[in-house]
A and B are shown apart, each in its own frame.
Chain A
Amino acid sequence: MSETHGPAGTFIIAQTSATPEAPAPGTGTHSGVEIGVPPAEAHGAGFPPFDATTFPSQLIWLAIAFVALYWLMSRVALPRIATILEERHDRIADDLEEAGKLKAESEAAAKAYEQALAGARGKATSIASETRDKLTAEAEASRKSLEAELNAKLTDAESKIAATKTSAMTNVRGIAVDAAGAIVNQLTGAAPAPQAVEAAVDKAIGS
């Protein structure tokens, strides 16, 4: 960024201070490095940003350029970008909505499945309990009938035993009466009255 132009530059570096050449006109000299303000005729009117003669041109062209920029931005470029962003925004919103809908659907399906599962489970439980009850009842019934049968057999057996016992007792009584009669006959030599013997034997057995 170094320019070489007329002798009115601000920094002038001479090769050596001993150079016999005369210093550039219009600037002070300090041992070769010279810092000075450029004369007005070289750069218009001094410091360029404060040179008022360039202001009208700059203002006019800035106005035209900036109005053009504003028009291009507000009419062309910005609506274009806004449309792109809006489309993307809409698209994302749509996709999110779609995803939400699908999620709701899948949730409903999951719920239905859960429900069906619960129903099936309930049904299975009821079938199982029904079966169990039925089996229990059947077992109970067969147990009862068996018990009744056994009871009947028992009663039967008991009555048979009782009958046998009675008949046996009856036989025993007869034998006892006979034996007692015979014993009394042998001891006393006189046959006792059968009624008395029977009464005595009954009294002995009964006690």
Chain B
Amino acid sequence: MAVEIDPIHQFQIFNIVDLGAPGGVHLGFTNSAAFMFGIVAVIFFFLTFATRGRTLVPGRLQSLAELSYEFVASTVRTTAGNEGMKFFPLVFSLFMFVLVANFVGMIPYAFTVTSHLIVTAALALVVIGTVITYGFVRHGTHFLHLFVPSGVPAFLLPFMVVIEVISFLSRPISLSLRLFANMLAGHIAMKVFAGFIVMMTAGGVAGFLGAVLPLAMVVALTALEFLVAFLQAYVFAVLTCIYLNDALHPGH
């Protein structure tokens, strides 16, 4: 009799529908994809259902929908100014997607979309792609002033430009890795401690009593993970706003 706890298994991706390999690339409708569409559906139906009454004095759900709107809107306004509001739908979509993905991941047996580096990297690339595209379309070559800080002595300038370029290029990396690593590590930690409970209970009465400790740990970690789930979504949105602010105002 052996009990197996595999903390990595929860990140497993499998095909629900195998679409074969058109063009040499293996494709399939995966559990990850199902959760992605689930997340989109949850966000959309929540927002439309909550605002169905369009009441002047909001009820609980409508308050929640308005709160999420105004929370993201005020984040965009304070970090990127009123001009930044043209990116509001993007920031809102990113925030809600990451937030709901993180929270859905907290449901037992659910798959955490944001625990996959490719997903967070793609989201980060959407942000940086938007920054670069908008920056060049709006400001042309003036956008490159982003890399030239003003008021720096001439002999330091080459180093500063190199540093600025490196820091700019590391943004998508840090943006994607932060979210990915937080979600991955949190879920592994919870699973490992949950695994300890199972292991210890297999060891008789003493093990049952001892299992209280990892159980308490799992409870604490669960609370922490809910905090992290919200915080990472917020951090992602705030950093998106800060990077977009660079595209709007490239001069330092």
| Contact surface of A with B, Cβ cutoff 8 Å | 1-5, 9-15, 24, 33, 38, 43-44, 47-51, 53-63, 65-66, 68-70, 72-74, 76-78, 80-85, 87-88, 91
Contacts and interface: CB of A to CB of B under 8 A. Distances in A.
Contact of A49 (B2, B3, B92, B116): B116
Interface string B121-143: 01100100000000000000000
Contact of A1 (B15, B116, B194, B199): B194
A14 B40 contact: no
Nearest to B25: A56
Nearest to A43: B12
Interface in B20-66: 25-30, 32-33, 36-37, 39-40, 43-44, 47-48, 51, 54, 56, 58, 62, 65-66
Nearest to A10: B6
A9 B202 CA distance: 17
B117 interface: yes
A25 to B, nearest CB: 13
Contacts, number: 186
A65 B118 contact: no
Interface of B: 1-13, 15, 19, 25-30, 32-33, 36-37, 39-40, 43-44, 47-48, 51, 54, 56, 58, 62, 65-66, 69-70, 88-90, 92-93, 96-97, 108-109, 115-119, 122-123, 126, 180, 184, 190-191, 194-195, 198-199, 202
Contact of B13 (A9, A24, A51, A81): A51
Report whether over half of chain A's contact residues are helix, strand or loop; otherwise say mixed: helix
B117 A73 contact: no
B117 A50 contact: yes
Contacts of A68: 37, 40
B30 A57 contact: yes
B48 A9 contact: no
B180 A59 contact: no
Contacts of A15: 1-2, 202
A13 B30 CA distance: 31
A11 B5 contact: yes
Contacts of B26: 53, 56-57
Q: Which 3 A-B pairs have the closest CB atoms?
A: A61-B33, A9-B4, A74-B89
B202 A13 contact: yes
Contact of A10 (B8, B29, B36, B97): B8
Contacts of A66: 36, 40, 93, 97, 123, 126
Contact of B2 (A14, A47, A58, A82): A14
Contact of A43 (B8, B37, B39, B122): B8
A58 B89 contact: no
A125 B199 CA distance: 102
Contacts of B191: 1
A58 B29 contact: no
B4 A54 contact: no
